[in-house]
Structure 1
Amino acid sequence: MTNTILLHPTYFPSISHYVAMAQAEALVFEVEDSFQKQTNRNRMYIHNANGMQMLNIPIKHTKVGPGQKFKDVQIEYAFGWQKQHFKSLEAAYRTSPYFEYFEDDIRPVFEKDYKYLLDLNLEIHDIITSCLGVTWTYDKTEEYFKEVPAGITDFRDLANGKKDENQFEPYVQVFDDKNGFLNNLSILDLLFNEGRNAVDYLKNQQLR
C-alpha cells in the first residue's frame, strides 16, 4: 500500500512537515478546511540572536465568520510584513553556511504580492523542494474529511505548532552557542545551516 500523507500547506513549514514528506511516497495537501487562527498556516519560527522568533503573516479579516475556508483567506499587505520578514531572516542567518546559496531562491516570496495565503504556501513548497533538490509532487483535497480515508496518514495536526511535540536530533545552528539547540523550527533553519544535507537528515528522523 502506498504511504500517503495528508498535510496542511503552511508558511515555510516546520521541520516535522518535511520529515513526514521525506518518508512518504505520496503527498496530499488539505485545501478544503476552514481557516484556524494561531496556527502555522501563516507563521513560522526561526532562531535569531535572542532565541526563537515568530514571523507572522497578517491576513485580511472578513465578516464571513469562523467558517471561512482557508483557500479564501487573503493576505494583508498594509504593514510591510514582507520586508520585515526578510530582514529578520537576514539578521538570523546571514552568517549561516548556506544563506547566500539559497537567498535568491527564497527572495521572490518577499517581493511578490500573493492575493491568497494558500497560493503563497503552495509556491513555498515548490521553492523549498527545489532548494532541497527533491521532487515531491502533491495532490490537493477535493472535499473536507474530518476522518481521513483508509490508507492515508493524517498529519494535519502538525500545522498546530502547540500540538507538535516531535523532537529531532540536534544539528549546528548559528546561535546554538548562545541559546542552545532550538528544536523543530522552520525548514529554513535546517536549509540555511545544512544545505542539501538536510534531505538525509530528514529521512533519518522519527515522528511521534
Structure 2
Amino acid sequence: MENHHLLHPVYFPNVATLALIVKLPVIWEVYDNFQKQTFRNRCYIATDQGKHMLNVPIKHIGGNQGRQLFKEVKIDYSSAWQKQHWKTLQTSYRTSPFFEYYEDDLSPIFEKKYEFLMDLNFETIQFFCDSFQVTMPLKKSKNYQKTPLDIVDNRSLAIAKTNFSFVQEEYFQVFGERHGFLKNLSGLDLLFNKGPEAMEYLNSIKLE
C-alpha cells in the first residue's frame, strides 16, 4: 500500500504541490502552528511585470499568546484584498487561452467572506480538484507530530523558501516572451494556459 503524504493546505497551491495532490494519497496537516513566509497565505502568478505574489492578510494575535494554530488563523478584511487578487488575475490572464473557461467557477472564491484562512485554502484546493476532475483528499491529521511515523512528511513544500527541485517542462505562459518561463507558479497559471491538458501535465511530473 502506498504511503500517505502529509501536506499543508495552502492558498492556490503551486504546480509541485498540485502534482502531489493529484497523483498520491494525501493527509492534510491541520494541527500545526501558523508560520510566516509560507504558502499558507500566499501564492505566485505571472503578470506583465513578472513573478507576482498574491498575499492574504491575516489577523495577527497580540500579547503573550505568541504562537497560534494554523486552523485558528482568521482573515483580515480591512483591505479589499479579494477585489485586488481577482482584478490582478483578470488583468494578467484575460488573454490566456482558458481564463474565460474557468472564470465563473473561480470568481465566487473572491466574493465569499471566509472567516478562517484554512477554510479559504481548502476551497482553493477544491476548485483545482473540480477543474481536474479528481476527488478532493479529505483525510486530516488527528494531532501534531514533529516527526510523523508511517507517512511521508512533505510539509516543507509550504515554506516559500524551500528549494524543491523537480524537472518541470516548459509550457506556454502569457508573458513568457517577456520574462522567460516562470517555474512552479500557482496552479492557476498552469490551468489558465493549458486548460484541460493541465491534468495530463501534472501526471507527467516526476516527483523525487
Alignment of structure 1 residues 143-158 onto 2, 5 Å: 143-150=143-150, 152-158=151-157
1:197 maps to: 197
Question: Partner of 1:32 in structure 2?
Answer: 31
Structure 2 unpaired stretches of 5+: none
For the residue of structure 2 that corresponds to 1:162, the secondary structure is coil
Residue 96 of structure 1: how far off its partner (Å): 0.5
Matched residue, 1:97:
97
Counterpart-to-counterpart distance in 2, 1:185 and 1:111: 23
| Aligned-pair CA distance for 1:133 | 1.5
Counterpart in 1 of 2:48?
Answer: 49
Query: What SS does the corresponding residue of 2:43 show, helix, strand or coil?
Result: strand
Whole-angstrom CA distance in 2 between matches of 1:66 and 1:121: 23
Counterpart CA distance in 2 for 1:116 and 1:108 is 16
Q: Percent identity?
A: 47
Cα offset for 1:161?
A: 2.0
Q: 1:56-135 alignment to 2 at 5 Å?
A: 56-63=55-62, 65-135=65-135
Counterpart-to-counterpart distance in 2, 1:142 and 1:100: 39
Within 2, Cα distance between the matches of 1:105 and 1:166?
31
Offset of residue 166 of structure 1: 2.7
Query: Structure 1: where are the runs of 5+ without partners?
Result: none
| Residues 34-89 of structure 1: CA deviation (Å, up to 9, x unaligned) | 00011000000000111000010000011263320000000000110000000110
Look up the SS of the partner of 1:11 in the other structure: coil
- Equivalent residues, number: 206
Q: Is the 8 A contact 2:22 2:134 kept in 1?
A: no
Over the residues paired in the alignment, what is the CA RMSD in angstroms? 1.2
Q: Provide the TM-score with structure 1 as the length reference.
A: 0.95
